[in-house]
Amino acid sequence: MESKTVNINRSGDVEYITFPHFVSASGVHHIFSTRKGGVSSGIYAEMNLSFRNGDKRDNVLENYRRLCNVAGIDVSHLVLSRQTHTNNVRYVTCKDLGTGVTRPEFSDVDGLITDEPGVALVTQYADCVPLLFYDPVVRVCANSHSGWRGTVKKIGAETVKKMVNDFGCKPENIIAAIGPSICKNCYEVDLPVYEAFKGSGIPLDTVIMPKGDGEHFSLDLREANRLILTEAGILPQNLDIADICTCENSDILHSHRATGGRRGNLAAIIEMY
């Protein structure tokens, strides 16, 4: 697996991805996992970060410990939610530490946001689009999960809106990242998905391409989210866009499409310090 736009790193057995703007920023830890360096086995091998897909809980906890250790994050600071392809973005604080790990997870939440250091926001993936945000001026960070439904609902724009309206962030100060996800060549969708995008306001001719039979289409989730974020005010020069496809690299990254759903989950984690 290679990339021209993001950093692929290794610490011991753990292979992980970081984003250049976030590496350069001060006061923030972040990491995006791969399958490498965990203790899970079988379809979850090696680094599975979901407690909900049938893997052994102790394995998932050890995987989080290993990933957090590399990122400089205390595993007790994690906050997870149950993602259901909404555009709901929830404000969390230090009072929520351990949610989804040692306490019940939040339900129907696909984005997390905080203005408190020491709160590690976690979202999970296996083809959908990871979105990370950080305002180094006001000191707010966010982490949002955008599948095709979340993209239609513009969860990326909702996250920026919440940063601006609730915390006084200026879009031009926010750095953002679009993480590894399924690429347009691998992501075939059907007519109902096309119809959903027709009503979204996202330019169809740039994000969804007919396959020729009128029933199937190629969907570019990465480009759709780029358009959503820049329309929301994120400056292109402040945006990292991963050029890595999860489906094409399913030996290194968990992919729902490549495995027919028999897989673990990747995770994006961000925490201010």
User: What pLDDT is stored for residue 214 in this prediction?
Assistant: 87
User: What pLDDT is stored for residue 212 in this prediction?
Assistant: 87
Residue 224 burial by Cβ neighbours in a 10 Å radius (0-12, 13-18, 19+): buried
User: Under DSSP, is residue 38 helix (H, G, I), strand (E, B) or coil?
Assistant: coil
Binning pLDDT at 50, 70 and 90, where does residue 150 land? very high
Distances in Å between the Cα of 186 and the Cα atoms of 2, 22, 218, 239, 258 are 18, 28, 8, 23, 9
Average pLDDT in the 50-66 region? 98
Tens-digit pLDDT profile for residues 207-263: 999 998 989 999 999 999 999 999 999 999 999 999 999 999 999 999 999 999 999
Label the pairing between strands 89-91 and 111-114. Answer: parallel
Q: 120: closest CA among 162, 81, 166?
A: 81
Structural domains in the chain, CATH included, are 7-183+221-272 (3.60.140.10)
Q: 127: closest CA among 215, 214, 242?
A: 242
Tens-digit pLDDT profile for residues 2-56: 999 999 999 999 999 999 999 999 999 999 999 999 999 999 999 999 999 999 9
Dig out the tokens for 196 from the structure. Answer: 């959903």
User: Under DSSP, is residue 30 helix (H, G, I), strand (E, B) or coil?
Assistant: strand
User: What pLDDT is stored for residue 123 in this prediction?
Assistant: 98
Asked whether 115 and 167 are in contact (CB, 8 A), the reply is: yes
User: Under DSSP, is residue 135 helix (H, G, I), strand (E, B) or coil?
Assistant: strand
Binning pLDDT at 50, 70 and 90, where does residue 132 land? very high
Tens-digit pLDDT profile for residues 153-178: 999 999 999 999 999 999 999 999 99
Asked whether 113 and 255 are in contact (CB, 8 A), the reply is: no
Asked whether 143 and 177 are in contact (CB, 8 A), the reply is: no
Rounded Cα–Cα distance for residues 260 and 116 (Å): 39
C-alpha Rg value of the chain to the nearest Å: 17
Interacting residues of 198 by C-beta distance below 8 A, sequence separation 6+: 204
